[in-house]
Amino acid sequence: MKRVLRTATYRDDLEKIEARIAEDNPKAGLDMWFHIDDQVTQLADPNFPRKLGRVKGTFELVAHANYIVMGPLQETDHSVR
């Protein structure tokens, strides 16, 4: 089974998303953090939905209507940013 490698950029961006939402609603910020990261974890399943990215050589996961996760198209481990 493939692994999902979370880059430092991914972790930083996810923390910024959580912090921004938490300014108005701390629970919603934390819920969004878990929602996005849970979907990213599922990228290890090759059948989990994703689409070709707008940037050549990438895929995109629409984790939420407002947030897209990008990663490289590879046959080996996936990293997300």
Q: What is the pLDDT of residues 7-28, one digit of tens each?
A: 899 999 999 999 999 999 999 9
Task: Supply the pTM of this predicted model.
Answer: 0.83
The amino acid occupying position 52 is: L
Residue in the block written with tokens 């046959």: 75
Better-scored residue on pLDDT, 1 or 17:
17
DSSP character at residue 9: H
CB distance 18 to 32 below 8 Å: yes
Does 36 have pLDDT greater than 60? yes
Helix (H) or strand (E) holding 81: none
pLDDT value at position 4? 85
- Is the confidence at residue 75, as pLDDT, over 60? no
The predicted pLDDT at position 14 comes to 97
